[in-house]
Amino acid sequence: MTAPAARIAFVAPRFADGPTVGGAETLLRHLAEEAAAAGRQVEFLTTCARDHFTWQNVLPAGVRNVGPLRVHCFPVDDTRDVATFERLQTRLCRTGALTAEEEQLWLRHGVNSTALCEHLRRESGGLDRVVVGPYLFALTVHASRVAPHKTLLLPCLHDEPFAYLPTIARMFRSVAGVLFNSEPERDLAHRLFGLPAACSTVVGMGLDPFTTDPAAFRRAHGITAAYILYSGRREPLKGT
Q: What value does the CA radius of gyration of the chain take, rounded to a whole number of Å?
A: 19
Please name every residue paired with 46 in a beta bridge, in sequence order, or none if there are none. Answer: 73
**How does pLDDT run across 179-229, given as a tens digit for each residue?**
999 999 999 999 999 988 778 999 988 778 888 887 888 899 999 888 887
The confidence score (pLDDT) of residue 240 equals 66
Domains of the chain, with CATH numbers?
A: 7-208 (3.40.50.2000)
Average pLDDT score over the chain = 92
pLDDT band at 152 (very low <50, low <70, confident <90, very high): very high
Of 231, 183, 190, the C-alpha closest to 207 is 231
The confidence score (pLDDT) of residue 1 equals 52
pLDDT at 52 over 90: no
Of 141, 136, 144, 138, the C-alpha closest to 120 is 144
**How does pLDDT run across 99-137, given as a tens digit for each residue?**
999 999 999 999 999 999 999 999 999 999 999 999 999
The confidence score (pLDDT) of residue 2 equals 59
Answer yes or no: are the C-beta atoms of 165 and 148 closer than 8 Å: no
Would you say the pTM of this structure is higher than 0.85? yes
